[in-house]
Amino acid sequence: MLKSIYTLVLASSLSVAQNMPKAAVYSGCTAPKTVALTFDDGPWIYQNVISDMLDSKGAKGTFFMNGNNYECIYGHPPVERLLKTFNSGHQICSHTWDHRDLVTLNATQIRAEADKMDSKEISTFTETFLDFYVAALFKILGVNTTFFRPPYGSYNDLVREVLSEKTFILWDLEQVMIHSNLHVHPDLRLAAPETLSVKHPSKARTSTMQLSAIAS
Ligand SMILES: *[C@@H]1O[C@H](CO)[C@@H](O)[C@H](O)[C@H]1NC(C)=O
Ligand SMILES: *[C@@H]1O[C@H](CO)[C@@H](O)[C@H](O)[C@H]1NC(C)=O
């Protein structure tokens, strides 16, 4: 008898959890013969090398930024590089503040990892020291970003529920892999006959080699 009550309660709480709004997740492109080039883990010194190379080929990329990874996003070179890339028409999005694995964090910590980059409650900000660590991308770029890439591509239902207002963008190809038979999210700006996803812009040699390969 006790066992069946327990089962009933469990089933009912599971169904509540399933009804919670969750972030949408895209792991590939939705239009055939399109490509989205994405770069993770900046800001770092190769930011403009990559965006300039894309510009020279008439292409645009999406850069998923951390707040504090290779360098702090609020530093002067990082801010200048970000603005140059952004003003050239590339997309800047959030890759969390610290690049921590979100599935190891509780709800408060998950929220903080996201809000330090972009927050859905910017209007409530006051000018205090703590606000320095809120919505870096909004403060630097003056816009709210749309897309969010969880570090390591790692997420679970809690992460999707806590960040339900976001759109998670994963990837289906990494590094030098080029394939002709995958799909691209329609909101991403680039369309080309091949599909490629490049991660980790900090490795300039790999990144420029990859870009040369697809641009030629
Ligand atoms: C989340 O984890 C942090 C760090 O361990 C802890 O300080 C905080 O109390 C936790 N919050 C909740 C809601 O569990
Ligand atoms: C960004 O989002 C916040 C919170 O929803 C809002 O208050 C603010 O007006 C938005 N800013 C822009 C430039 O869209």
Residue ranges covered by each domain of the chain: 24-215
Check pocket membership of 104 for ligand 1, CB cut-off 6 A.
no
The C-alpha torsion from 81 through 119 and 149 to 147, rounded to 10°, is -80
Check pocket membership of 106 for ligand 1, CB cut-off 6 A.
yes
Stated as kind and residue range, the H or E segment containing 160 is helix 157-162
CATH superfamily of 24-215: Glycoside hydrolase/deacetylase (3.20.20.370)
Amino acid at 73: I
Residue by residue, pLDDT tens for the chain (216 residues) are: 444 444 344 444 444 456 789 999 998 888 888 888 899 888 888 889 989 999 999 999 999 999 999 899 999 999 999 999 999 999 999 999 999 999 999 999 999 999 999 887 665 556 665 566 788 999 899 888 879 999 999 999 999 999 999 999 998 876 543 333 333 333 333 433 333 444 444 333 334 434 444 443
For ligand 2, the distance from its centroid to the CA atom of residue 123, given in whole angstroms, is 7
Stated as kind and residue range, the H or E segment containing 110 is helix 107-115
Phi, psi of 179 (to 5 degrees): -140, 150
Closest C-alpha residue for ligand 1 atom 1: 106
In a 13 Å sphere around the CA of 9, the CA atoms on its Cβ side amount to 6
Beta strand 183-184 pairing with 31-32: antiparallel
